Every structure is written in C-alpha cells, then in structure tokens.
Amino acid sequence: MAQEKAPEAPPARVATGLEISQAIEELTEEDSERLEQTAINRICRIGRLAAHNRTHEDLIQEAMCRILDGTRQWRPENVKFVPFLLGVIWSISSEWASHHERNPDSPEYAAIESQITKVDDEGNSHSPFEAIASTQPDVEDEIVRAELESEQKALLQQIEAHFSKDENASYVLMGWSDGMDGPAIRELFGLDETAYRTIVRRIRRYSQKIIRKGDGQKSK
C-alpha cells in the first residue's frame, strides 16, 4: 500500500529588521568576545593579502551587512543569532580567501568584473578593465606575499616553541597539523576529555594573544 506523504513543514521565516536589532541589543559580553575572537582568528587564517587589508572589524560589519540585505538569511526558528553570525563570518572569510586563490595577482575589482562585463551586438564580451594594463604581479605584491609567508612561519614557530616543553600540548598541535580531530588525538595520545580541554584552552589563549599582539604591532 502506498504510504501517504507527510505534509511538508512550511519553511522557517526570515528574521525581521526588528528581530535583528533586538538580537544585537541582547548580545552578552560572552557573545561579543566570541564574535571578536573568531573574526580576529579568521583574518589571521586567510592572511592580509586575501583580506585586502580589511580588518576583523570590517569582517564583522560585512557579515552584519549581508544578514541585513538578505544575502544571508537568518531564520530565528532554526538557529540562534550568534551561531548564525559566526557562520557568516567563517563563510565570508573563506570566500575572500578563495577569491584570492583564484585571482592571486588580481586586485579586488576582479571579483566584480564578471558582473559588469558587457556583451556587444555580436556577442563579444567587453570588460571595463580591458583598457587597464595587464595584472602581472607587481613587485609590491611579491614583497607583501614574502612578508606574509615569513609572518605565518614565525607565528607557527612561536606557537610551537611556546609549547615545546609541554609534551601533551605538542601532541595536540601535531595532531591538529596532521588534520586529526579531538577524539582521534585523545585516543592516540591517551588524553582524557578534561586534560584535552585544558590543553586546547591554553593553546587558544596563547595563540589568540600573540595574533592580537601582531595585529597591534602592524597597525602602529
């Protein structure tokens, strides 16, 4: 006998401007700390070149703008505001990074070129940037790239050196570098949940602190 299909639930509704405004006002100190730390972490993750010198504050604002203009739709019945905003921050930073990977030598306008390229009567595409000289990587970009690689190398070395005498923390860092998740690391190195959590907290606190410090030094 054919089974009757269960009626489909209506899609959850998108938040109104008022709900978004209320969610902002209801943010706790914990939420704000989480949002700021995530944005700082993500900007460091993608690097200055991919971020095009945009800061973690720009990243938070961009995420908010996309929620407000409906590019990213927050459905309060499905997810709370803070986890949703964190997800948008992650995805925008990934988007910036992948745009940079696809266009390593192109400046930011490459992202919108496809949107403003016009097609003539004969079907030929014309980009408004055709008149601009070729986008060969310039010397300045190369210098920034080299600087960035050296900064990332230094950051990694600083983190690893800080925990070099802490055997368990070194195991965790090694496991993460090798793409392992928490349960796999705990099992391999015989760490219980509490010990693992304590180590992760120490690594997180130290790493975020030196990332902030590095950002502060650069902006001076």
Partner 1 sequence: MGKKANNESERLGRILDRIADDIATAPGSELLDDARQDGRDPVQTAAKVKGLLRRALKNHQRGLMKKSQEGYEREVAAIRSRPIELPQTPQRRRELLSAVFSRKPQLQAAFTFQNRGFSELTDEDVENHLRKLALLGILDEVKPPEENE
| 161, 62 Cβ separation under 8 angstroms | no
Size (the chain), residues: 220
Please report the beta strands in the chain, taking only residues with DSSP state E, as ranges in sequence order: 118-119, 125-126
Nearer residue to partner 1 within complex by CB, 14 or 27: 27
Q: Residue 118: beta bridge partners?
A: 126
In terms of C-beta density within 10 A (0-12 exposed, 13-18 middle, 19 or more buried), how is residue 167 classed? exposed
Q: Which stretch binds partner 1 (CB under 8 A): 3-11, 106-114, 132-140, 148-156?
A: 148-156
Q: Please report whether residue 31 would count as binding partner 1 according to CB under 8 A.
A: yes
Nearest approach in angstroms of CB 61 to partner 1 is 5
Nearest approach in angstroms of CB 182 to partner 1 is 8
Q: Please report whether residue 45 would count as binding partner 1 according to CB under 8 A.
A: yes
Cα(168)–Cα(103) distance, integer angstroms? 40
Binding mask 150-169 for partner 1 (x = CB under 8 A): --xx-xx--x----------
Work out the number of other CB atoms within 10 angstroms of the CB of residue 37: 16
Nearer residue to partner 1 within complex by CB, 147 or 178: 178
Joined together, the tokens standing for residue 83 give 């986890």
Task: Provide the binding-site residues for partner 1, judged by CB under 8 A.
Answer: 17, 20-21, 24-25, 27-38, 41-42, 44-45, 57, 60-61, 64-65, 68-69, 83, 86, 90, 149, 152-153, 155-156, 159, 173, 176-180, 184, 188, 200-201, 203-205, 207-209
